[in-house]
């Protein structure tokens, strides 16, 4: 901002200092400025008002948008939570179904339905000349039931 010094009027009478008032010198007079023109001032005020309005509207819009987004996310979260619960329930029921169908009892019932019958007495044949053959050790890696269970279990969270 450039402050212009106003020229002193040539024929202006010397002002008589009032008693008790500070004696202002030239330096005090030098700080006096000329107000901008009315049109410029109005423009500035208008701009400020618009800016404030814009910021307010933008803030409000952001707030509303955030609220909507949060609400939508809450719904999504709830939906996912429900889905998770349902899937866990489905998993439990399927597991029960698998266990039931693969149980020895169920297999026997299924076999009977297919017309299979229990075999009679097993007759063993003896071969007098037979000698136990040296059998190579079984090197097939055996995975214990519990080894992979931990991984599966943690993936399934609280499901057993």
Task: Work out how close the CB of 141 gets to other proteins at its nearest, in angstroms, rounded to a whole number.
Answer: 15
**Minimum gap (Å) between residue 61 Cβ and other proteins:** 23
3-class secondary-structure state, position 151: helix
The mark string for 69-88 relative to other proteins (x by CB under 8 A, - otherwise) is: -------------------x
- Choosing from 13, 126, 136, 141, the residue that interacts with other proteins (CB under 8 A) is 126
Among 93, 110, 111, 116, binds other proteins (CB under 8 A): 93
Tell me the backbone φ, ψ of residue 142, rounded to 5 degrees: -105, 125
Joined together, the tokens standing for residue 98 give: 């698998």
Options 76, 79, 95, 116; binder of other proteins; rule CB under 8 A: 95
**Pick 37 or 105: Cβ nearer other proteins:** 105
Report the distance separating Cα 51 and Cα 159, nearest Å.
56
Between CA 59 and CA 65 the distance in angstroms is 10
Q: How far apart are CA 81 and CA 108, in angstroms?
A: 40
142 binds other proteins (CB under 8 A): no
> Can you tell me the distance from the alpha carbon of 78 to that of 158, in angstroms, rounded to the nearest whole number?
18
All residues at 6 or more sequence positions from 33 whose CB lies less than 8 Å from its CB, including other chains: 3, 4
Residue ranges in contact with other proteins by CB under 8 A: 88-89, 92-93, 95-96, 99-100, 102-106, 117-118, 120-122, 124, 126-128, 130-132, 135, 138, 145-146, 149-154, 158, 160
């Amino acid at each position: 901002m450039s402050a212009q010094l106003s020229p002193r009027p040539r024929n202006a009478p010397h002002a008589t200092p009032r008693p008790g008032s500070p004696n202002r010198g030239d330096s005090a007079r030098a700080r006096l400025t000329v107000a901008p023109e009315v049109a410029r001032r109005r423009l500035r005020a208008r701009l400020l008002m618009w800016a404030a309005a814009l910021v307010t509207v933008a803030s409000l819009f952001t707030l509303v948008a955030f609220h909507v987004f949060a609400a939508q996310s809450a719904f999504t979260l709830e939906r996912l939570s429900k889905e998770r619960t349902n899937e866990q329930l489905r998993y439990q029921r399927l597991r029960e179904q698998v266990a039931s169908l693969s149980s020895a009892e169920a297999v026997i019932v299924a076999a009977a339905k297919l017309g299979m019958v229990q075999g009679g007495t097993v007759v063993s044949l003896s071969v007098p000349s037979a000698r136990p053959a040296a059998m190579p050790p079984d090197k097939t890696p055996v995975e214990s039931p519990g080894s992979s269970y931990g991984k599966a279990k943690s993936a399934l969270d609280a499901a057993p």
